[in-house]
Amino acid sequence: MSDFTIRPLASADIEQIKKLHATLVPVNYPPSFFLHLLIQNSYSCLIALEPSSGEPVAWVSASLHKSSNLIGSLEPHIQLLTLGVLPEYQHRGLAKRLVWEVIASLHKDPSTPVPTVYTHVCTSNTPAQAFYESIGMKFLPAPKSPSGKPYVAKNVYTYPPLWAQKSAVGNNELFESKDAYVLVGKITA
């Protein structure tokens, strides 16, 4: 695992990262999304390079915000935006490492607490939900739900779906739903 190089996204990587998104996450992210990852100070995108080829095989993107109505926080927090690991490199702890490192990249002042992290996860994407739970995140409960039913954000995935194009690794069933759960937590390495 230590052989993989993790580094920030550079402009020369953009086309490859767009392709990785299209392969693993069948959501049509607009070009401005990738531009923000590259140029905005409050955004961070890290890529993992395969040791022998130097090709990107995984990435994570995240943004830092001052407060959040969604998770009811007046403190700075980090939103994980997108995350993916090519199937042949999954189950080696690469996503876990990328998430830790992207948090560290946005938490620049060590005298302040590590921000809470949250992310939207498609309600049909149970492997990703299991991943986020494994790193200590929990389902945000629905407001005033005595049974602790998870909150469901409706129609989060509103871009035209690409599953008509059949992504290379067949992740379409993971993204069948347009709705998302929200997972929240303090993540420490």
Q: Give every CB contact of residue 151 below 8 A, 6+ residues apart in sequence.
A: 139, 140, 141, 142, 143, 145, 181, 182
| 130 sits near ligand COA (criterion: CB under 6 A) | yes
CB 186 within 8 A of CB 116: yes
Which of residues 9, 24, 46, 182 is near ligand COA by CB under 6 A?
24
Which of residues 34, 43, 59, 131 is near ligand COA by CB under 6 A?
131
Q: What φ, ψ does residue 23 adopt, rounded to 5°?
A: -75, -45
| 102 sits near ligand COA (criterion: CB under 6 A) | no
Q: Compute the distance between CA of residue 84 and CA of residue 61 in angstroms, rounded to an integer.
A: 10
Looking at the DSSP bridge assignments, the partners of residue 67 are none
How many degrees, rounded to 5, is the angle at CA 9 between CA 121 and CA 106? 65
Stretch that binds ligand COA, among 33-41, 44-52, 122-130, 145-153 (CB under 6 A): 122-130
Which of residues 48, 118, 171, 187 is near ligand COA by CB under 6 A?
171
| 128 sits near ligand COA (criterion: CB under 6 A) | yes
Q: Identify the helix (H) or strand (E) that includes residue 61.
A: strand 56-65
| 91 sits near ligand COA (criterion: CB under 6 A) | yes
Which of residues 20, 47, 62, 83 is near ligand COA by CB under 6 A?
83
Stretch that binds ligand COA, among 4-12, 130-138, 151-159, 176-184 (CB under 6 A): 130-138
Other CB atoms within 10 A of residue 24 CB? 22
CB 8 within 8 A of CB 45: yes
Which of residues 125, 139, 182, 187 is near ligand COA by CB under 6 A?
125
Q: What φ, ψ does residue 104 adopt, rounded to 5°?
A: -60, -35
Which of residues 6, 9, 20, 25 is near ligand COA by CB under 6 A?
25
* Contacts to ligand COA by CB under 6 A: 24-25, 82-85, 90-96, 121, 125, 127-128, 130-131, 134, 171, 174
